[in-house]
Amino acid sequence: MFDRNPMILEATPSTVTDTPAESISETPAAAPGIRVAVSLELILYVALVLLSLTLRLAELGTIPLSDGEAHEALAAFRAIEPRAAGSPLVSHNPLMFTANVITMSIGGSDTATARLPTAILGVLLVASPLLFRRWLGRVQALIIAALLAISPVLLLASRSMSGAVWAMALAVVGIYWLGKFIETRRAAYAILCSIALLMLVLMAEPGGFLTLVGLAFGLSFALSTVDDPDLEYRRAVAQGLRDWPWIRAAVIGGFVIALTAMVFLLYPQGLSGIGDVLYQAVRGLTTRPAGYPFAFPLLVSLLYEPVLWVFGLTGAYLVISRDGSFLQRAMVGWLIASAAWALGYGGAEPGDALWLTLPLAALSAITLEKMLAPVRDRFWNVPAWGPYVQGVAVAATLAIAAINLVIVGNGIMSSNPELLPSIPQPILMKVIMVVPALLLTVITFFLVGSMWGARASWHGTGIGVLLILSIYSFGSGWHAAVVNADNPRELWHVRPAARNLNLMQKTLVVASLRATGMPYDMEIVVQPGEGDPFDDGALAWALHRFYNTQFVTSLAPTVNAPVVITADTSEPPKLGAAYVGQDFPLTYRWERSSLKWDFLIWLYDRETRAQPNASDRIVTWVRADIYGLLPESRAPDAR
């Protein structure tokens, strides 16, 4: 099967498939009982899965949902909870909606549960290279998994209910089933592939169709660039199209999609979500959401994943210049298409940087596999540890340069420059320190080159760069996902919900206990600010357990609910009782345009001279008698 089919691509020398693991997987039925073969590879995969699970689950529920996440969570919550306050919402990600409905039905409706399906899917995506192990080779598959495990974009997307994670997961299984179909010609694989790809377009996220177009472009790019004198590839594709069970796939796909969107007929209106995905997809062609920068996914990818760009582009160069395989060329095509979408598609979310992450990771794996392999040279006898030692040295010198640059950045930020920074003398010394550090890197390169040859020297430098950039990427991902989760200076977070919402929730629980004796039974009246989501968004999610919440457009002077939440205005509202107010920031905003010479420190530490502003402040008015703050005679007779 492998040999007959040109779509199954020339494996690189190190990925010859006659491995013990492969043999075991090919003949599982022969052995009675369950056999578990523990190999280093398996241990590494388990470690990667555990690492990514830890990264995704840590503090998952302590960071409030942003408006976009809250919309999805509320859509699912209101679908399953008839007592929920507010109107039903249409999900922008029907597949995630279905998953959320199921998990919320089982696991309750807290913030962590809302994020859990996407986070778990993110972990599965890390492990997904296992599916392609036979085609990519063990090493490349493992490297891809490792890169995905530390990928900031995948980490952030997995932790923030991004539809892009669902789209990528569907794309990956779609590709896998496509490969299986080409191998086996079994209609079931084609049908599964069709379902996955249909779901990708209709149920994952508005940009899902671009992922599909990107994959198709990748395929055609590979077809047009691969060396194919006998037209084997073209014939195989044509044959595949002829053999494809179009009608069955369309009918079964349509049925499965309708069933899934309707949460298996439990929530018929879920179909509207598919329509919404399509509508948002079309709108995204012409409209960019407010506050989103141009080429948002591209900027996100460049900022958070330099390691993938450095090694991915190198990999792309290697593929194009050194007769890369069909699959590798398809990855290059996918990357080109993804870069085009990331640049031109207005409706793209930051999570859509995954468009770039996956092909870049696959291409990086090509580079890294070569780089990490022992250097074989006709003239030099290079010890296996040599490049690694050099790599550590290079990483150290680069770290020196980076630390000095951070100090310089800090100094510049405190100098408050207008046009050009006036750098104080000590800081200037640090700038000068950067130069010898970099020079040291160069000297090391030549030194190693003179000992073991240029090839070894490149390997060592690459390992150093990999180390330093990986640390940077991993750190920036974790910071953006957890430490700076409500910091708008993180490029990822356009309008993050403030952590203070947690505090507000706790306050309300206490107030409810005092007012009603129960934590969530208190009546709350909410008048959102002008332009804020009405019964949607972060605030609505923060209040979702308070079933007696009422969203209003204006407040009657007789309102005397235990708690009234209003937008922070200069005039306090006229209410039917005495209230004590406490203001909370709902979100933070930060002007990207304020970034000037503090760019350097922002790049590393997200520190800037212009601080984020607490925008969309709300005031929680608690009726005075709840805490006994007023004499009984002045408080209305609540009970």
Q: Which residues bind other proteins (CB under 8 A)?
A: 87-88, 90, 202, 246-247, 250-251, 254, 262, 268-269, 271-280, 282, 534, 552-559, 576
The H-or-E segment that residue 526 falls in is: strand 524-527
- How far is residue 216's CA from residue 214's CA, in Å, rounded to a whole number? 5
Facing residues of 583 across strands?
619
CA separation for the pair 350, 161 (Å, rounded): 12
What is the smallest separation between the CB atom of 282 and other proteins, expressed in angstroms?
A: 7
For other proteins, the closer CB: 258 or 373 = 258
> CB within 8 A of 500, min separation 6: which ones?
584, 585
CA 477 to chain CA mean position, Å: 10
We find the least distance from the C-beta atom of residue 255 to other proteins, in angstroms, to be 11
Sheet architecture: strand order including 579-589: 549-551, 524-527, 563-567, 613-623, 579-589
The conformational region for residue 221 under phi > 0 = left, psi -120 to 50 = alpha, else beta, is alpha
Q: Which amino acid is at 565?
A: I
Output the smallest distance, CB 93 to other proteins, in A.
12
The residue among 492, 535, 525 whose CA lies nearest residue 87 is 535
Strand, helix or coil at 637? coil
Least distance from other proteins to the Cβ atom of residue 291, Å: 20
CB of 95 to other proteins, least distance (A): 15
Cβ nearer to other proteins, comparing 324 with 537:
537
Residue among 91 and 457 whose Cβ is closer to other proteins: 91
**Residue 602 in contact with residue 595, Cβ under 8 Å?**
yes
The residue among 254 and 417 lying less far from other proteins, judged by its C-beta, is: 254
Cβ proximity to other proteins, 251 vs 439, nearer residue:
251
The nearer residue to other proteins, 1 or 265, going by C-beta atoms, is 265
Cα–Cα distances in Å, from 582 out to 243, 249, 396, 433, 623?
66, 57, 50, 50, 11
Nearer to other proteins, 262 or 456 (CB): 262
Q: Which is nearer to other proteins, 201 or 308 (CB)?
A: 201
Looking at the Cβ atoms of 31 and 247, the one nearer to other proteins is: 247
Q: Which is nearer to other proteins, 271 or 396 (CB)?
A: 271
User: Which residue, 520 or 534, has its beta carbon nearer to other proteins?
Assistant: 534
Bridge partners, 166 (sequence order): none
> Widest CA span of the chain, in angstroms?
97
Nearer to other proteins, 511 or 561 (CB): 561
Which is closer to other proteins, CB of 372 or CB of 552? 552
Cβ proximity to other proteins: between 432 and 556 the closer is 556
**How many CB atoms within 10 Å of residue 379?**
8
Between strands 524-527 and 549-551, the pairing is parallel
Please give the DSSP secondary-structure letter assigned to residue 287.
-
Residue 427 Cβ vs other proteins, minimum distance, rounded to whole Å: 52
581: helix, strand or coil: strand
Query: Tokens in use for 322?
Result: 């050194």
Contact between 35 and 458 under an 8 Å Cβ cutoff? The reply is: no
* Contact indicator for 330, 222 with CB cutoff of 8 Å: yes
Residue 589's DSSP bridge partners are 613
The angle subtended at Cα 127 by Cα 252 and Cα 97, nearest 5°, is 45
Return d(Cα 121, Cα 140) in angstroms, integer: 21
Q: Taking a C-beta distance cutoff of 8 angstroms, is the pair 134, 9 a contact?
A: no
Q: Which residue matches tokens 């796939």?
A: 249
Cβ burial, residue 220 (10 Å; 0-12/13-18/19+): middle
Locate 260 and state its tokens: 């899934």
In DSSP terms, which residues pair with 565 in a beta bridge? Answer: 526, 620
Work out how close the CB of 574 gets to other proteins at its nearest, in angstroms, rounded to a whole number: 8
Sorted by sequence, the CB contacts under 8 Å of residue 174 that are 6+ apart come out as 193, 196, 197, 200, 215
Which residue matches tokens 């018929």? 268
Q: Nearest approach, Cβ of 92 to other proteins (angstroms)?
A: 9
Which amino acid is located at 440 in the chain? L
Q: How far is the CB of 280 from other proteins (least distance, A)?
A: 7
Least Å from the CB of residue 243 to other proteins: 14
